[in-house]
Structure 1
Amino acid sequence: MAAITITNVSKTYPGASAPSITDINLTIQDGEFIVLVGPSGCGKSTLLRMVAGLEEITDGEVRIGDRVVNKVDPADRDIAMVFQNYALYPHMSVRENMAYGLKNRKTPKAEIEARVAEAARMLELGPYLDRKPRALSGGQRQRVAMGRAVVRQPAAFLFDEPLSNLDAKLRVSMRGEIRRLQKRLATTSLYVTHDQLEAMTLADRLVVLNAGKIEQVGAPLEIYHRPASTFVASFIGSPAMNLLDAEVDGNRLRIGSHVIETGRALSARGAITLGIRAEDLQLSASGLPFKVDFIEELGAQRLVHGQIEGQTLVVTLDPQVPLQDEMRLSVTSEKLHLFDTISGKRLDHAQAVAAATPVLA
């Protein structure tokens, strides 16, 4: 096991007008599970592939343990990768697929057998060791790919969207298997996904990428409850955080003709973006007028979509609560998030709101 240190790393493809990765700095501690998350094209797979040695680094440095690995071949970096498409040899059995890398490294036969047997036990692959990949389900194939990585006993695991080809139910169970396996082995892991729910449930820390740059790094709940920008607020969370156009006037926030009394003067002035999580809104006898457009029934909860002052908003409500076409909503002021309208960055002084708890009125 080893830490991974990424220092001032950039990547520009030949002929490109702009870099796809810009000045990335990140340290993954020994045994830590880091998830790179972001929309398609944000650079997360490119960054992973540079760590793996499958993409050349334009600028900067990658260390695995104490070694700078910029010029080290992928096979010599002491890492193991699990890919989206399994990458299994179809003519080999499960046992042979798992053992293949060790055989190439001239590992003694007895040690290969012991490692394969242990990985098969951990991943419940014992009954399938003599089968070919075509006789396995998608989930079983992915477990074989994981087993092949495990037997290597590498310094780090690299996962490139390994669950993308699985159905929704299987993705949930495989997430649990991956997390349990990583905790048991305590191997440094770097995992790429575009699925924010997958990222939230797996990570020790999330790295949210946007247009080739790091937008925010932190524990999943830290990022959820205190997003650093409107991009993070709209990407992390399901449903996404509500983002409303508002104005600051002393200790007041205005949304259209309606006023939120915060109870403390705010240093910002003029137009801002106000963020509110769907679950932080409640029905109220007074508050902001909310006109219902449509409802999503999810069983344990209900997502109600509508408008406040002509701006779209989603609220999470108990399915047992009776609904009307028009309602009023309130929220305690500590649940409000303020962002700069131009840059999208979080306004730190917005935390002054937390000292008071009046409701929207």
Structure 2
Amino acid sequence: MASIDINQVSKIYDGGVRAVSAVDIQIADGEFIVLVGPSGCGKSTLLRMVAGLESISEGTVRIAERVVNKVEPADRDIAMVFQNYALYPHMTVRQNMAYGLKNRKTPKAEIDARVAEAARMLELEPYLERKPRALSGGQRQRVAMGRAIVRKPAAFLFDEPLSNLDAKLRVSMRGEIRKLQRRLGTTSLYVTHDQLEAMTLADRLVVLNGGRIEQIGTPLEVYHRPASTFVASFIGSPAMNLLNGRIDGNLLSVWPISLTLSAQAAHSGDVTVGIRAEDLGPVRDGMPRLPFRMDYVEELGGSRLVHGRIGTQALCASLPVGAELSEDMVLSFDPARLHFFGADGRRLELGLSQASAVSVSTTVA
């Protein structure tokens, strides 16, 4: 096991195109880090630079405190798990799992012991003599993980390993991956575009956008205190509601309501106001009220997502199944649950725990 230190790492292609720009990430020994972001944000490129499959234009990568910029992939003491499994179709499960160890001239008795241990851990014992074509997608992915485990590497690198699986299997497989990583305690760097997958797996998330880091933090830190409108809209399902607002002195206007602040805000002018769907609810005494026009409802069984508008701005609320619905309705919210972002999209801290409604328009356009 080992730490991974990514220091000011950039990838610049011909023509000066920056796929990754000045990325800093310190991954502790045994930590599970997930790189998450939309397609083209640079997460797979960054992973491939750590693996040695892509050259590093600027910066350094250290694995176990050793600079590996010029070290061949086979000599970095890492193991990769790919989305396409990368299994040899003519080999059995046993042979696929043992292949890397055979190439390293590992004694046969040790190979047999490691393969047997990994097969038992991954519940692959009944399939050891089968070839990949006789396995399901989930079983093939477990074989790919087993091939990585038997090497006992310093770190695991996962490149969207679950993207080819169906939704139900993805849920069970990510649970297996997390349980396995905790059992082995191996440092892991995992790439996904699926924010739900990222939230459930990570010790810490690294949210990437346009080759740059938007935020690093635990899943709950990133969810509850997004550092930018990009993070707020990317992390969470449904995405955070983002509304146009304005602050003048101690007055916050988010059409069609106005709130007074407990003190004059440090920021003045236009702001983006964010609120999670679950922080909007039925009318409660002492809480600001928000006129809302409903468009449609998504029934989720235990809750319902109600989509609509305040004025011309879209809004989604997560309401209990028993909540009364109508085309024109009123929601309420706790001002302390609001998030604020400046013109640059970065988070603002305004301290609104004592805000109160001073005027409410009942007209919804």
Answer whether TM exceeds 0.5 for this pair.
yes
> Equivalent pairs: percent with the same residue?
68
Q: Any idea what SS the aligned residue of 1:12 has?
A: strand
1:15-67 Cα offsets, whole Å, 9 max, x none, are: 3x421100001100000000000000000000000000000000100000021
The offset of 1:357, in angstroms, is: 5.5
The offset of 1:256, in angstroms, is: 2.3
The yes-or-no answer on 1:178 pairing with 2:180 is no
Q: How does 1:122-137 map to 2 (within 5 A)?
A: 122-137=121-136
Equivalent residue letter for 2:282:
L
Looking at structure 1, the residues matched to 251 and 37 of structure 2 have their Cα atoms a distance apart, in angstroms, of 34
Note the residue ranges of structure 2 that are not aligned, 5 or more in a row. Answer: 361-365
**The 10-residue stretch of structure 1 (129-138 or 320-329) with the greater mean CA deviation from structure 2:** 320-329
Q: How does 1:53-92 map to 2 (within 5 A)?
A: 53-92=52-91
Equivalent residue letter for 2:2:
A
Looking at structure 1, the residues matched to 164 and 241 of structure 2 have their Cα atoms a distance apart, in angstroms, of 31
The offset of 1:216, in angstroms, is: 0.1
Equivalence for 2:327? 325
Q: How does 1:268-287 map to 2 (within 5 A)?
A: 268-284=267-283, 287=289
Q: Any idea what SS the aligned residue of 1:106 has?
A: coil
Q: Any idea what SS the aligned residue of 1:20 has?
A: strand
1:282-301 Cα offsets, whole Å, 9 max, x none, are: 12177111000111111111
Equivalent residue letter for 2:84:
N
**The 10-residue stretch of structure 1 (242-251 or 42-51) with the greater mean CA deviation from structure 2:** 242-251
Q: How many residues align?
A: 356
Looking at structure 2, the residues matched to 183 and 359 of structure 1 have their Cα atoms a distance apart, in angstroms, of 47
Equivalent residue letter for 2:38:
P
RMSD between superposed Cα atoms in Å: 1.2
The yes-or-no answer on 1:152 pairing with 2:151 is yes
Q: How does 1:280-359 map to 2 (within 5 A)?
A: 280-284=279-283, 287-340=289-342, 342-348=343-349, 350=350, 352-354=351-353, 356=354, 358=356
Q: Is the 8 A contact 1:255 1:309 kept in 2?
A: no
Equivalence for 1:12? 12
The offset of 1:359, in angstroms, is: 5.7
Equivalent residue letter for 1:89:
Y
The offset of 1:251, in angstroms, is: 2.2
Q: Any idea what SS the aligned residue of 2:283 has?
A: strand
Equivalent residue letter for 2:199:
M
Q: Is the 8 A contact 1:281 1:331 kept in 2?
A: yes
Residues 262 and 329 of structure 1: CA distance in aligned 2, closer, same or farther (over 3 Å): farther
Equivalence for 1:141? 140
Equivalence for 2:261? 262
The offset of 1:86, in angstroms, is: 0.2
Equivalent residue letter for 1:10:
S
Q: Is the 8 A contact 1:333 1:359 kept in 2?
A: no
1:118-145 Cα offsets, whole Å, 9 max, x none, are: 0000000000000000000000000000
Q: Is the 8 A contact 1:332 1:358 kept in 2?
A: no
TM-score normalised by structure 2 residue count: 0.96
Q: Any idea what SS the aligned residue of 2:70 has?
A: coil
Looking at structure 1, the residues matched to 352 and 37 of structure 2 have their Cα atoms a distance apart, in angstroms, of 29
1:145-177 Cα offsets, whole Å, 9 max, x none, are: 000000000000000000000000000000000
TM-score normalised by structure 1 residue count: 0.97
Equivalent residue letter for 1:321:
A
Looking at structure 2, the residues matched to 359 and 155 of structure 1 have their Cα atoms a distance apart, in angstroms, of 56
Note the residue ranges of structure 1 that are not aligned, 5 or more in a row. Answer: none
Q: Any idea what SS the aligned residue of 2:347 has?
A: coil
1:275-327 Cα offsets, whole Å, 9 max, x none, are: 00000011217711100011111111100000012100000001121211111
Equivalent residue letter for 1:238:
S
